[in-house]
Amino acid sequence: MSDFTMHEALTQELVEQKYQLYLARINDALGRCFDRESPLTLYAPARYILEGNGKRIRPFLTLLASEAVCGSSTRALKVGLAVEILHNFTLIHDDIMDQAELRHGRATVHKKWNTNSAILSGDMMIAYAYELVLQAKSSRHSELIHILNDANITICEGQALDMELEDKRDATIADYIDMIAKKTGRLISAALEAGGVAGDATSEQLQSLVLFGEKIGRAFQIQDDYLDIMAENGKSGKMAGGDIINGKKTYLLLRSLELTTGMERDLLHSIIINKGIGAERVPEVKAIYERCGVLDETASLINRTTEEALTAIESLPHAEGREHLRGFANMLMKRDF
């Protein structure tokens, strides 16, 4: 093993240790939220969604962002909790719109209770997130509130674009990139931006953190598309090729439509027209992806976008926090979930 490879492995091990330490810290703090017992149908659903198998990526990034600009995450915890609660509110409402019955193997909130309780509990969680931000030790509360407001509005725009994309037969990669930037990417960049503000970052440092978040968010979502077709059944928590079966417009599908002709393109286009395809034809579609080169191209895009993200934070002042951000980004890009 070379010195560089050994250093990289050591760094990843340290990042994983820090992640596990902070995961426990975040989960412990989240467990103290929504401790009121009445009304039961308001607070129990909020506790329930937070007890799910969440990876807490966003609050972890909030804490690391603060450390990268000021060397400490002490003042960023409540801000990170606010971001995670806002994220979980979106999950409750997304599941209602998608009519989803399961999330991480558990009944969705609207199925365990009912739709009205799920909507009301989600609404309450928004207000609770803002209250946590106002409790944070900071002289920049207005900036923090603005970040959460902007993220909330942008996520709603992304969800609306996602719904429009479902019925759009001539969707482009530009449409898709715009949608994921708003639906997925903005809350990731907001988590970092809010952590920077909690750590009293300069405007230049905030720009670096936001750019890092935008790039990582894009790479993360495109990698989701890639893992869907590449992962073994069950390893990603869903059936391999589920996006194809459900007719989801992913980067892989939209780019393959640009790269293919004839019968191959007709088959891919039929996935959009028919809003899905039989599970038995997933290997056939994957073979088209392989032949047209979209799998290699997508893997290169993920790596290139990740490198652009890492470059964005090179000037952040505190080396340990900066390196943990870099390490966590690399850890996300090597995931198989």
Cα distances from 279 to residues 200, 203, 236, 240, in angstroms, run 51, 49, 17, 9
Mind giving me the DSSP string for 182-201? IIIIHHHHHHHHHHHHHTT-
Query: Angle CA(147)–CA(195)–CA(179) in degrees, nearest 5?
Result: 50
Overall size of the chain counted in residues:
337
pLDDT digits 0-9 by tens, 11-30: 788 889 999 999 999 999 99
Tokens of 210: 């936001």
Spatial contact of 268 and 169, defined as CB atoms under 8 Å apart: no
Domain boundaries, given as residue ranges, for the chain: 3-333
Spatial contact of 194 and 79, defined as CB atoms under 8 Å apart: yes
* DSSP letter assigned to residue 169: T
Closest CA to 309 of 183, 219, 223: 219
Class of domain 3-333: mainly alpha
The band of 240, judged by pLDDT with boundaries at 50, 70 and 90, is confident
Cβ neighbors of 152 (< 8 A, separation 6 or more) are: 86, 126
Cα distances from 117 to residues 46, 127, 149, 313, in angstroms, run 10, 16, 23, 42
Alpha helices in the chain (DSSP H): 3-30, 40-50, 57-70, 77-98, 109-112, 115-135, 141-166, 173-180, 186-198, 203-230, 242-245, 251-259, 262-273, 282-292, 294-312, 319-333
* Cα–Cα distance for residue pair 36/58, rounded to 1 Å: 25
Q: Tell whether the model's pLDDT for residue 7 goes beyond 70.
A: no
Cα distances from 48 to residues 56, 89, 151, 297, in angstroms, run 15, 12, 23, 40
pTM score, whole prediction: 0.92
Q: Tell whether the model's pLDDT for residue 321 goes beyond 90.
A: yes
Mind giving me the DSSP string for 229-274? HHSPTTTTSS-TTHHHHTT---HHHHHHHHH--HHHHHHHHHHHHT
The band of 333, judged by pLDDT with boundaries at 50, 70 and 90, is confident
pLDDT digits 0-9 by tens, 212-223: 999 999 999 999
* Cα–Cα distance for residue pair 21/56, rounded to 1 Å: 12
Average pLDDT on 145-173 reads 95
- Alpha carbon 276 to its chain centroid, in Å, reads 24
The band of 169, judged by pLDDT with boundaries at 50, 70 and 90, is confident
Tokens of 287: 């073979």
pLDDT digits 0-9 by tens, 72-119: 999 999 999 999 999 999 999 999 998 999 998 899 999 999 999 999
Q: Give the pLDDT score at 24.
A: 96
Q: Give the pLDDT score at 234.
A: 47
Closest CA to 83 of 146, 127, 25, 129: 129
Tokens 């979930």, residue? 337
* Cα–Cα distance for residue pair 56/275, rounded to 1 Å: 32
Q: Give the pLDDT score at 27.
A: 97
Tokens of 238: 């869903």
The band of 159, judged by pLDDT with boundaries at 50, 70 and 90, is very high
Spatial contact of 104 and 151, defined as CB atoms under 8 Å apart: no
